[in-house]
């Protein structure tokens, strides 16, 4: 494992001595066995480490607790009271789910996840998790999504929630939306949950980047986050998600000793065992240790200590090491005799070791994750690890459904069980020793009762006192500002209004310039967080490296190869740019950490995450959804947008649908700007919307293109009641009115399609006497949402004067056909087609899969070039009888369009 043959390439300076050591080892193996040999080697390694002989760490250790009992610290809590409190919480969490499912069959909820992890959380609540009451950012705790009932149950005991609230678990409609969300959703419970976690893998990933962002803020001297720790609770099954483990090496590389993962290793996921034929804890240990983490295993409860102490032969350790998880799961559901016969029994030494224990004793030998002393020791060690530079993973072995009785505990179906019979509830009550609090008669009532100790009880006082000492209740989301942000000055945006003159530039270049201006702004500048996943050169953003510097927690320890160049690769510990490397998921996690900083720590930060638009919504759509749930604010910039504007890259790179995907995210303001002044306006207004007076919890998505053309001057408003800014922001405005001509038409363009639209308008006028108005459609999503709202209002107010959707108001009274063209799929403009009922509406777009070719070839292929726009307009005019169909045919021929050409959609 350590050498893999490489040892033979090292010089042996004393072969005789080497031989002696090897012979000794051979003798030990032969005479005393392999276990003894392993022991001696471990001792040697330990001694070597103590003597500073650097040596690669082994990636796995035996299947026992990392902290032996003699090293356990004093447990400072009141064991008895904490046990009582845990019992109440366990009870209420279970009853809450049971009651919800009695009232509404199938409403769901989970009993067994929290049942397995109650102690994991309670140790944190009573002794570790720091709140924000003292005016600090506090700790950031990511709760396992399916453990939500337990978190509600504690809040109930603390009197943050009442019985009605618990009865509204998963019933979020009505009660003014004050139900308890199924899982941690800040979007639904903005005063309670901070971090959405339920989509497996996203919790750990975003927690990791949160810890990194704390360091970023500290190193940039924006906020003192040095005392904040990030705790992420996750399932062992969840570790199969690539997002869970995919970034752990970053945590070690960045020395995030402010990060703790607590993995609830109940050995089960939804359908069955996580690793029936292996050992998930060992596997995770190797993975985390290999990545440079500090790993603490909490496998066995205190009652095993005595047995391990007597295991002088190593037989017990060997049995622990060789038993697979499927067998361990079996032991949880079988009786003590089965354990005696099958775990201990086959080896006479082990049988003898437990001969003094009854079957019941054997059944009650608990797993470490249910032992608060062991857990306390592990958490303490994690805290004390601060300064080591290593993040900590605590791997806790638990039983899924622990205390819920034989029918539920450890069963393969346990994850899905949501109901309990009266008899099962009685067993639970007895198991939790709640006979005094909950009588048999109580259990016979229609609904099992909740229980919470009175305010003057010692239990209540204890838990409140503990939370007070630790800085207040958790979880709690607040938007109290600790460090206010000031908006950028208008100067930042000014230059974009005057256009680029003769110079051809792209909207991407315009945006990069804008980003630099924003970062230079005296007050606002430091709050700008540029995020890029190894694509800065593609977007021309490498020009920002030298000025803003790339964040590197260790600074730059080398002179870069391009040190003498203007655009050198400059890293600094207080660098501003998060150059994430090739991880769109990690970049999005940084976007979320920065975009929620206004709430997480009361320090608004403004992320600008620029990515290859194809690898945005499509690649990390679930994280974008999570950002919406987390109420993240900021800007997503889909660069190299469009299926024909990015020409050479082909099918995997050309994005013609991110705007379709963006249309599915309610909190996303999606724009497809054509010109630099539009980009600047949208960014300025977006900052105001998110960070100014209205403080909307939304984020913006802007497409940016890499096609160069002269950027026009910002036009005057075409509507006396609205400024040009309002017009740009509303999603559609008249960019150029129609010249007087025989026929009329409207061409709507977005993004890079504007040049084809302008060329088509010119040809239509010159050759066919059609005067076209040109509209810039900056956001069909916004137009549609506004139209839907009006439509609904009209439906529900039948006796009042009908209102008109904005898009109807703008277009429906116009003359001639409408042709809408963009570099995206036809469905994008089609979103508003039915709101313009009295005119024909033809969308042109890039349906089909991309391919590599020149822009002009691609635009012909997808039928969005000027000739196709001309044909579309003429065809509609012919349909309405304004011109003859031969005119259309002539245009098709003249432009060399092959009418039998295969449709791009099908290719």
Ligand X SMILES: Cc1ncc(C[n+]2csc(CCOP(=O)(O)OP(=O)(O)O)c2C)c(N)n1
Stretch binding Mg ion (CB under 5 A), from 245-253, 268-276, 681-689, 865-873: 268-276
Min CB(267)–Mg ion separation in Å: 7
Q: How far is CA 250 from CA 182, 212, 255, 594, 748, in A?
A: 31, 9, 8, 18, 46
The torsion defined by the Cα of 89, 92, 95 and 97, in degrees rounded to 10, comes to: -80
- 415 binding partner (options Mg ion, ligand X, none; Cβ < 5 to 8 Å by kind): ligand X
576 binds Mg ion (CB under 5 A): no
- 571 binding partner (options ligand X, Mg ion, none; Cβ < 5 to 8 Å by kind): none
| 851 Ramachandran zone, left/alpha/beta (phi>0; psi -120 to 50) | beta
Map residues 386-405 to x or -, x wherever contact with ligand X holds by CB under 6 A. --------------x-----
Tokens of 840: 């024909």
Min CB(144)–ligand X separation in Å: 6
411 binds ligand X (CB under 6 A): no
Min CB(216)–ligand X separation in Å: 27
- 199 binding partner (options Mg ion, ligand X, none; Cβ < 5 to 8 Å by kind): ligand X
Min CB(415)–ligand X separation in Å: 6
Specify whether the CB–CB gap between 643 and 708 falls below 8 A: no
410 binds Mg ion (CB under 5 A): no
Stretch binding Mg ion (CB under 5 A), from 235-243, 355-363, 406-414, 881-889: 235-243
236 binds Mg ion (CB under 5 A): yes
- By beta carbon distance, the residue nearest ligand X is 235
Element containing residue 894 per DSSP (H, E): helix 885-894
Please provide residue 17's backbone torsions phi and psi, each rounded to the nearest 5 degrees.
-65, -40
- Rg (alpha carbons) of the chain, rounded to whole number: 33
Map residues 220-259 to x or -, x wherever contact with ligand X holds by CB under 6 A. ---------------xxxx---------------------
CB-nearer residue toward Mg ion: 235 or 368:
235
Tokens of 879: 């349909």
Of 237, 368, 595, 656, which one interacts with Mg ion (CB under 5 A)?
237
CB-nearer residue toward ligand X: 238 or 697:
238
Specify whether the CB–CB gap between 417 and 116 falls below 8 A: no
Min CB(629)–ligand X separation in Å: 13
Which residue in the block uniquely carries the two structure tokens 């109930």? 156
Specify whether the CB–CB gap between 123 and 383 falls below 8 A: no
Which residue in the block uniquely carries the two structure tokens 């001509």? 741
Specify whether the CB–CB gap between 608 and 639 falls below 8 A: no
Q: How far is CA 398 from CA 114, 117, 335, 775, in A?
A: 11, 7, 17, 62
Give the strand pairing for 732-736 and 770-777.
antiparallel
- 500 binding partner (options Mg ion, ligand X, none; Cβ < 5 to 8 Å by kind): none
CB-nearer residue toward ligand X: 59 or 270:
270
Stretch binding ligand X (CB under 6 A), from 192-200, 295-303, 503-511, 711-719: 192-200
Is the preceding omega at residue 504 within 30 degrees of 0, hence cis? no
638 binds Mg ion (CB under 5 A): no
Min CB(375)–Mg ion separation in Å: 17
Of 200, 399, 636, 858, which one interacts with ligand X (CB under 6 A)?
200
182 binds ligand X (CB under 6 A): no
Of 170, 212, 269, 633, which one interacts with ligand X (CB under 6 A)?
269
Of 151, 198, 628, 632, which one interacts with ligand X (CB under 6 A)?
198
| 881 Ramachandran zone, left/alpha/beta (phi>0; psi -120 to 50) | left
In the chain, the N- to C-terminal Cα span, in Å, equals 50
How many Cα neighbours within 13 Å face the side chain of 306?
A: 8
Min CB(236)–ligand X separation in Å: 5
CB-nearer residue toward ligand X: 238 or 580:
238
- 113 binding partner (options ligand X, Mg ion, none; Cβ < 5 to 8 Å by kind): ligand X
Q: Where are the beta strands (DSSP E) in 698-857?
A: 699-703, 709-710, 732-736, 743-749, 770-777, 818-821, 841-844
Where are the alpha helices (H) located in 470-543, listed in sequence order?
Answer: 491-494, 507-520
Min CB(146)–Mg ion separation in Å: 9
Please provide residue 590's backbone torsions phi and psi, each rounded to the nearest 5 degrees.
-65, -40
Question: How many chain residues touch ligand X (CB under 6 A)?
Answer: 19
CB-nearer residue toward ligand X: 62 or 586:
586
Min CB(203)–ligand X separation in Å: 10
409 binds ligand X (CB under 6 A): no
CB-nearer residue toward Mg ion: 101 or 113:
113
CB-nearer residue toward ligand X: 40 or 270:
270
CB-nearer residue toward ligand X: 300 or 402:
402
401 binds Mg ion (CB under 5 A): no
275 binds ligand X (CB under 6 A): no
A 10 A CB-CB count for 18 gives: 11
Min CB(265)–Mg ion separation in Å: 7
479 vs 79: CA distance, rounded Å: 36
552 binds ligand X (CB under 6 A): no
235 binds Mg ion (CB under 5 A): yes
Of 35, 69, 199, 313, which one interacts with ligand X (CB under 6 A)?
199
Question: How many chain residues touch Mg ion (CB under 5 A)?
Answer: 5
Tokens of 352: 């003898």
Where are the alpha helices (H) located in 385-506, listed in sequence order?
Answer: 422-431, 440-444, 458-469, 491-494
Tokens of 707: 């096609």
- 243 binding partner (options Mg ion, ligand X, none; Cβ < 5 to 8 Å by kind): none
Min CB(400)–ligand X separation in Å: 5
Maximum CA pair distance of the chain? 106
Stretch binding ligand X (CB under 6 A), from 268-276, 332-340, 647-655, 770-778: 268-276
399 vs 645: CA distance, rounded Å: 55
Residues 6+ apart with CB under 8 A from 174: none
Which residue in the block uniquely carries the two structure tokens 């000014």? 494
Binding site for Mg ion (CB under 5 A): 235-237, 266, 268
Binding site for ligand X (CB under 6 A): 113, 116, 144, 146, 198-200, 235-238, 264, 266, 268-270, 274, 400, 415
């Amino acid at each position: 494992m350590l050498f893999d043959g490489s040892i033979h390439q090292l010089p042996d300076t004393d072969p005789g001595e080497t031989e002696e050591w090897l012979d000794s080892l051979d003798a030990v193996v032969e005479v005393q066995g392999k276990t003894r040999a392993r022991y001696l080697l471990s001792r040697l390694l330990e001694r070597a480490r103590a003597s500073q002989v650097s040596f690669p760490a082994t990636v796995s250790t035996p299947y026992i607790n990392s902290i032996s009992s003699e090293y356990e610290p004093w447990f400072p809590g009141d064991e008895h009271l904490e046990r009582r409190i845990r019992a109440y919480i366990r009870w209420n969490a279970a009853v809450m789910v049971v009651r919800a499912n009695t009232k509404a069959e199938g409403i769901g909820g989970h009993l067994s996840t929290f049942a397995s992890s109650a102690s994991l959380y309670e140790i944190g609540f009573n002794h570790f998790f720091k709140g924000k009451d003292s005016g600090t950012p506090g700790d950031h705790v990511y709760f396992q999504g399916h453990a939500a009932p337990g978190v509600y149950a504690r809040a109930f005991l603390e009197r943050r929630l009442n019985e009605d609230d618990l009865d509204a678990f998963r019933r979020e409609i009505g009660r003014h939306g004050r139900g308890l969300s199924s899982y941690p959703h800040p979007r639904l419970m903005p005063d309670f949950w901070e971090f959405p976690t339920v989509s497996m893998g996203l919790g750990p990933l975003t927690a990791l980047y949160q810890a990194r962002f704390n360091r970023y803020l500290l190193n940039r001297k924006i906020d003192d986050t040095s005392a904040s720790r990030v705790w992420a609770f996750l399932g062992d099954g969840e570790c199969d998600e690539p997002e869970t483990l995919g970034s752990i090496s970053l945590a070690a590389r960045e020395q995030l000793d402010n990060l703790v993962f607590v993995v609830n290793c109940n050995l089960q996921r939804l359908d069955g065992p996580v690793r029936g034929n292996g050992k998930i804890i060992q596997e995770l240990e190797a993975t985390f240790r290999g990545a440079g983490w500090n790993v603490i295993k909490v496998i066995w409860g205190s009652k095993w200590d005595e047995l391990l102490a007597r295991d002088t032969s190593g037989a017990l350790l060997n049995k622990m090491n060789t038993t697979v998880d499927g067998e361990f799961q079996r032991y949880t559901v079988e009786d003590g005799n089965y354990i005696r016969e099958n775990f201990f029994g086959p080896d006479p030494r082990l049988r003898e070791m437990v001969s003094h224990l009854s079957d019941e004793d054997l059944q009650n030998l608990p797993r470490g994750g249910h032992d608060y002393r062991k857990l306390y020791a592990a958490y303490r060690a994690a805290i004390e690890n601060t300064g080591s530079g290593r993040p900590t993973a605590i791997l806790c072995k638990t039983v899924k459904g622990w205390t819920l009785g034989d029918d539920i505990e450890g069963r393969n179906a346990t994850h899905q069980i949501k109901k309990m019979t009266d008899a099962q509830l009685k067993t639970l009550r007895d198991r939790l020793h709640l006979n005094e609090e909950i009588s048999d008669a109580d259990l016979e009532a229609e609904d099992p009762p909740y229980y919470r100790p009175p305010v003057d009880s010692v239990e209540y006082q204890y838990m409140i006192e503990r939370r007070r000492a630790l800085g207040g209740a958790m979880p709690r989301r607040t938007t109290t500002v600790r460090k206010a942000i000031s908006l950028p000055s208008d100067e930042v945006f000014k230059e974009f209004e005057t256009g680029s003159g003769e110079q051809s530039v792209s909207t991407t270049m315009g945006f990069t310039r804008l980003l630099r201006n924003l970062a230079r702004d005296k007050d606002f500048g430091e709050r700008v967080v540029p995020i890029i996943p190894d694509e800065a050169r593609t977007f021309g953003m490498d020009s920002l490296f030298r000025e803003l510097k790339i964040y590197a927690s260790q600074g730059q320890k080398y002179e870069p190869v391009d040190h003498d160049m203007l655009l050198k690769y400059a890293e600094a510990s207080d660098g501003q740019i998060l150059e994430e490397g090739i991880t769109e998921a990690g970049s999005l996690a940084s976007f979320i950490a920065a975009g929620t900083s206004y709430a997480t720590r009361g320090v608004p930060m403004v992320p600008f995450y620029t990515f290859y638009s194809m690898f945005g919504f499509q690649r990390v759509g679930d994280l974008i959804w999570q950002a919406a749930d987390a109420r993240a604010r900021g800007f997503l910039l889909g660069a190299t947008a469009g299926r024909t504007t990015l020409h050479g890259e082909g099918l995997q790179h050309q994005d013609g649908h991110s705007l379709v995907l963006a249309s599915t995210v309610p909190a996303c303001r999606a724009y497809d700007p054509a010109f630099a002044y539009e980009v600047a306006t949208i960014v300025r207004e977006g900052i105001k919307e998110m960070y100014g007076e209205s403080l909307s919890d939304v984020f913006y998505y802007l497409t940016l293109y890499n096609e160069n053309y002269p950027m026009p001057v910002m036009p005057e408003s075409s509507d006396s009641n609205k400024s040009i800014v309002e017009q740009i922001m509303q999603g559609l405005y008249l960019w150029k009115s129609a010249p007087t001509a025989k026929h009329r038409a409207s061409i709507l363009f977005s993004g890079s399609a504007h040049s084809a639209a302008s060329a088509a308008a010119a040809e239509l006028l010159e050759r066919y006497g059609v005067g076209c108005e040109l509209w810039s459609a900056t956001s069909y999503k916004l137009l549609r949402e506004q139209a839907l709202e009006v439509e609904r209002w009209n439906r529900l107010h039948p006796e009042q004067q009908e209102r008109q959707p904005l898009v109807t108001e703008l277009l429906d009274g116009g003359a001639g056909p409408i042709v809408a063209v963009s570099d995206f799929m036809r469905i994008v403009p089609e979103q508003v087609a039915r709101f313009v009922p009295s005119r024909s509406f033809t969308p042109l777009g890039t349906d089909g899969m991309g391919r590599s070719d020149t822009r002009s070839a691609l635009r012909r292929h997808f039928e969005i070039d000027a000739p196709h726009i001309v044909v579309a307009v003429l065809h509609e005019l012919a349909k309405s009888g304004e011109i003859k169909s031969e005119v259309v045919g002539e245009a098709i021929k003249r432009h060399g369009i092959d009418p039998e050409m295969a449709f791009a959609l099908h290719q």
